[in-house]
Amino acid sequence: MISFKIIFLIAYSIFLVGSYFLFLMLARRLHSQNLEKLTPSSQGILEENFKRMVHYIRISLFALFISSVLFLFLIL
């Protein structure tokens, strides 16, 4: 039972980190495409929104990891 929990934690951590970097790669590509289309005055707003979005996703994935780990250890 303990080995399952450890394997789950390692695999789930790798999955979440991989998902985060995949999202970040795709978001940066879309962000750079949007920057090319915008005027210089609106680029600052887009940069700020992009940073907020990345921060929000980081917090969401961390919360998902914590809740999943708590669920795993409380249920199993």
Question: Can you give the pLDDT at residue 59?
Answer: 92
Question: Can you give the pLDDT at residue 1?
Answer: 62
Question: Can you give the pLDDT at residue 52?
Answer: 92
- Compute CA distances 34 → 5, 13, 40, 63, whole Å: 42, 31, 12, 29
Domain of residue 24: give its range: 2-75
Residues 6+ apart with CB under 8 A from 61: 16, 19, 20
- End-to-end Cα distance, the chain: 8
Residues 6+ apart with CB under 8 A from 4: 76
Question: Can you give the pLDDT at residue 21?
Answer: 92
Residuewise pLDDT in 10s, the chain (76 residues) = 678 888 888 888 899 889 999 999 999 898 888 888 888 888 888 888 888 998 999 899 888 888 888 887 887 7
Phi, psi (rounded to 5 degrees) for 39: -80, 155
Give the total number of structural domains in the chain. Answer: 1
